[in-house]
Structure 1
């Protein structure tokens, strides 16, 4: 969740180009707020040159953001989150284990009954052909 300097919330889906136009905003990463002040990227004269250089400048900004992303140790956050999810998955599997045993028992009984029905029909067909 980001907020502009005026305290207006900015959607998470806002593109980097729009954030650069806002100039000053705060961003929350791992429940920590960081204030971002975007320096002027292009002067008035450079803005007239063309969009090719703007794209190069935006690529530089994207590289800086990628470096910031890795510097903030996002990977460690992902690993801790993954560990939490694995723990919850193990808890759910423990809760489902009795139901899985019941399911296996029901499947076994169904196979036995299906076998009885198959043999019964086979015998009935044999008796019918003897007459």
Structure 2
């Protein structure tokens, strides 16, 4: 699951602890890997730089850097995945195909349902 997050987005700030709680509860399906991608980077917005923001929020998963102009616009990877809002989740199957895309805050139950539907678990 690829999670696109914007450091200035209040919904992203709210979603991070939900994802961490989902992991802590043992609710992550076996084999599900999560990758964070900070995007829509703005040098003048709160929580800049995004790598420090994620570390400070306790983000436990790998992070990929999304090439961005620094003006708050979506980065190259976010655009390639069709991101329209933040947070933006993309679930990719073992076959490498995109199974589900979702935007906005998700509860643990909603995350579990999205992953189950996407991966047939």
TM-score (norm 1): 0.23
> Larger % of helix: which?
1
After TM superposition, the score normalised by the length of structure 2 is 0.24
Q: Please identify which structure carries the higher strand content.
A: 2
